[in-house]
Amino acid sequence: MAEQTGKRTVLLTGAGGDIGTAFRAYIGDRYAMRLAGRSDIPLTEGEQAEVISLDIADLDACHEACRGIDTIVHLAADRRMHAEFYDSLIENNIKGAYNIYRAAKDQGVKRVIFASSVNAVAGAPTRHQAQTDEVPTPLNIYGASKVWGEALGAYFNAVEGLGGFAIRIGAFKPEFDEMGGEPAPARHVSMLVSPRDLCQLIVRCIETDVPGFHIVHGLSNNALPFMDIESTKVLLGWEPEDDGFALYGNRFSTVD
C-alpha cells in the first residue's frame, strides 16, 4: 500500500463499528487504510481501502494483518459493559489486545493507538475529575480489560520500544442519540465525546511527533468534564470543539 500511494498506512480494527465508521468518514483519503473486522465491511461511495477479515484472538492472523503497516488504530473489542469474562472478554479484550501489540512489534509497526474507555476510571468518586496519571478505578470487568490494554501499551513501550497511545474514550455521542427524548444523567453527559472531537484526537495521535506511550482522555470540551482533558490538549495540540451539555440543552437530569 505504502509504495503505491506514498500515504501513511493505517490498520483500523473494528472498522465497521460506530467509531470506526465515523473515523473513516472523517479522514476521507488521508491515509492508505486497511480495514479489519469479523464480518464484511461495506465501503462507502468513493472510499478506497483494503478490507480484510480478522479474528483478533488469532495471533497468526494479527501478524498478517499488521504486515506493511505504519500505525494501528485498535478499536476491536467487546464493548458491552456487562460482557461475560469467560464467554467473550478473554478472547476479544484480553487475548485480542495482546495479539495486536505482539504482532505490531514483530511486524515493525511504529505506533499502536489503543481504544481504552472511560470505564477504566468510571469508579472514581462523584465530583472527582479523573486524571491520566492516577491509578485506574474500573467499575466493571470490561473497564478492567481496558486497563489491561493500557498496561500492555506501557509494557511494549518500556521494554520493546513500541510507541503508542491509549485513548480513554468517553460516551460516544451517537449512543446518546439513540435515547431519543429521554434525559441523560448529568454524570453521563459529562463523559460525552462527539464524533468530530474523537476523530480529531485519533488523527492527532496518529500524526504527532510525541514519542513514547501515553494515556490520553477522549472527551469533548464539556462544561463539567468527568475526566481531565487539559493534559491531553497540551500534549497533542488538540482542541475539542463540542460540549455535551450544550449539545443536549435541557435533555439531562441532575440525578447521577
Residue 132 binned pLDDT confidence (cut-offs 50, 70, 90)? very high
Coil/strand/helix, residue 107: coil
Give the amino acid at 213.
F
The total number of residues written for the chain in this structure: 256
Give the amino acid at 105.
K
The Cα 69–Cα 190 span in angstroms is 35
Helices (H), the chain: 2-5, 18-27, 59-66, 96-106, 141-160, 173-177, 186-189, 195-207, 230-236, 244-248
Cβ burial, residue 87 (10 Å; 0-12/13-18/19+): exposed
Give the amino acid at 37.
G
What is the reported pTM?
A: 0.93
pLDDT for res 136: 95
5 or 81: which leads in pLDDT: 81
pLDDT over 70 for what percent of the chain?
A: 91
Residue found by looking up cell 467499575 in the block? 139
pLDDT for res 249: 63
pLDDT over 90 for what percent of the chain?
A: 77
Mean local confidence (pLDDT), 55-76: 98
* 63: phi then psi, degrees, rounded to nearest 5: -60, -45
At residue 236, does pLDDT exceed 80?
Answer: yes
Question: Looking at residue 220, what DSSP letter applies?
Answer: -
Residue 3 binned pLDDT confidence (cut-offs 50, 70, 90)? very low
Q: Are 113 and 167 contacting, i.e. CB atoms less than 8 angstroms apart?
A: yes
pLDDT for res 250: 58
- Stretch (H or E) spanning 253: strand 252-253
Lowest mean pLDDT among 104-113, 216-225, 239-248: 239-248
Number of domains present in the structure of the chain: 1
Residue found by looking up cell 468518514 in the block? 25
pLDDT tens-digit series, residues 166-198: 999 999 975 556 555 566 678 888 899 999 999
Lowest mean pLDDT among 12-21, 22-31, 36-45: 36-45
pLDDT for res 127: 74
The Cα 210–Cα 36 span in angstroms is 26
pLDDT for res 220: 96
Give the amino acid at 109.
V
Give the cell for residue 220.
469533548
At residue 2, does pLDDT exceed 90?
Answer: no
Give the amino acid at 234.
V
Mean pLDDT for all residues in the chain: 91
Report the largest interatomic distance among the alpha carbons of the chain, rounded to a whole angstrom.
55
For residue 198, give the CATH number of its domain. 3.40.50.720
Q: Cα–Cα–Cα angle for 187, 192, 196, nearest 5°? A: 170
pLDDT tens-digit series, residues 76-96: 999 998 999 999 999 999 999
| Structural domain for 221, as ranges | 2-253
Q: Are 9 and 70 contacting, i.e. CB atoms less than 8 angstroms apart?
A: yes
CB neighbours of residue 108 within 10 Å: 12
Mean local confidence (pLDDT), 97-118: 98
